[in-house]
Amino acid sequence: MRTRHTFTSTNSNFKAQLLQWSQQFEEVVWLDSNSHQQQYSTYDVVLAVDAFTCMSTDSHQAFDQLQEYQTITKDWIFGYLTYDLKNDLEQLTSEHADGLEFPELFFFQPKKLFLIKDDVVEMQYLNMVDDEFESDLKDIAALEFCEKEEPSKKVSIQMRLTQEQYVDKVNTMLAHIHRGDIYEANFCHEFYAKQAQLDPLETYTKLNSISKAPFAAFFKNHQHYVLSASPERYLKKIDQKIISQPIKGTATRHKDQLVDDVLKTELQKNPKERSENIMIVDLVRNDLSRTAKKGSVSVEELCGLYTFEQVHQLISTITSKVDANIPPVQILKTTFPMGSMTGAPKISAMEIIEDLEETKRGLYSGSIGYFTPSGDFDFNVIIRSILYNVDKKYVSYSVGSAITSKSDPLKEYEECLIKARAMKEVLEN
């Protein structure tokens, strides 16, 4: 079904040329590790373009439809899961305004696929287009970069909530926590602009150069774009091993190395930040146990400290083993939405989130990733990401933080601004 071509590339511009070449297609998924040496990384870069088949649906029976598509295709498929697929899993709704209007689930089978690890490039083309690989390589190599004569127009970003409104809503959430309705919930709010005109590739390139995140993604489906600098993995399957790596716990970076080291140490020892992380670890352990072999759920790393361009983060790694006969989509279905973007208990947290947030999350706090022909998969968490609908001229990014009994609403608000910094800088020049 696919023909493979493998070669070694020492061209330092090859990645940039490849991404630029991909823009001619209506369906694009670009996944870039930015050379982060993650323990469970398989590829440095993956590019999938040009749909041969695809599926797009709302939340009704979405996971069943995805399982059918994945089973019938038995090939590489790439796509996304929006947060609102929660409505397929529980008696929940999403009634808020939606300026982006993304389909709630979308996957496609690419005609052309590039897998890069170190200097080795593997091209996997469907047989119907295999005679194009040589001309494609020539076209990619011929691409040259030149500075745009005019910089992109500044996008004037609005906040969905004022600081006062945000604090009031967090206080309401704290009342739920003190009453015992929930232990923790991730409360998010939107930054947006109407009548926005972006160059998606230029915007992604700038965002990626600032953030250099390990789960960065450029996604295009006709008029819908995702420009992601995500630092977080949602879920990965390697054979019968499942890996989840939730992020909870954030501290800003500082240019002074001594001050930055102090901030790292304070984060690692901060009881509030650690408790956020540990609560979500417990939730993930419970989610994974629904498909795991008995006794196989394990916490490989608890509250590990990781440093990114703008922030320090606490990341935990939880793993499990599953039987080979469990459908891969079932593993996603029993863990979605990810605990780091919901709260504990999960269903109660999602109900309260829906009541307090002002906009439909859509793909924010959802996931982009892929399935392999063997049923392995890898999915990120859509955070630190710009979402854009070209036809609607609507651009949006959202940020959030975990609210616990020890939360200070003003400090949570400040944390959100820190997380929004890179997106704001890119859009407002």
Q: Sort 325 into a burial class: Cβ within 10 Å, 0-12 / 13-18 / 19+.
A: exposed
Q: Which is the catalytic residue, given 248, 333, 360, 419?
A: 248
C-alpha 75: how far from its chain's center? 22
**8-state DSSP, 406:** T
Q: Sort 336 into a burial class: Cβ within 10 Å, 0-12 / 13-18 / 19+.
A: buried
Q: Number of H helices and number of E strands within the chain?
A: 11, 20
User: In the numeric block, which tokens belong to residue 297?
Assistant: 């759920």
Count the alpha carbons within 13 Å of 42 in the hemisphere toward its beta carbon.
18
**8-state DSSP, 223:** T
What are the distances in angstroms from CA 57 to CA 208, 391, 427? 30, 19, 30
> If we measure between CA atoms, which residue out of 354, 360, 348, 339 comes closest to residue 402?
339
User: In the numeric block, which tokens belong to residue 346?
Assistant: 């999960």
Q: Is residue 232 annotated as part of the catalytic site, yes or no? A: yes
Q: Which is the catalytic residue, given 232, 273, 276, 354?
A: 232
**Contacts of residue 19, Cβ cutoff 8 Å, sequence gap at least 6:** 30, 47, 201, 218
> If we measure between CA atoms, which residue out of 143, 124, 121, 107 comes closest to residue 24?
143
User: In the numeric block, which tokens belong to residue 361?
Assistant: 């999350």
**8-state DSSP, 278:** H
> If we measure between CA atoms, which residue out of 190, 182, 174, 173 comes closest to residue 355?
173
b/e map 131-152, b = 16+ CB within 10 Å? eebeebbeebeeeeeeeeeeee
What are the distances in angstroms from CA 364 to CA 26, 83, 99? 21, 7, 13
C-alpha 113: how far from its chain's center? 20
Q: Is residue 248 annotated as part of the catalytic site, yes or no? A: yes
Residue positions annotated with a catalytic role: 232, 248
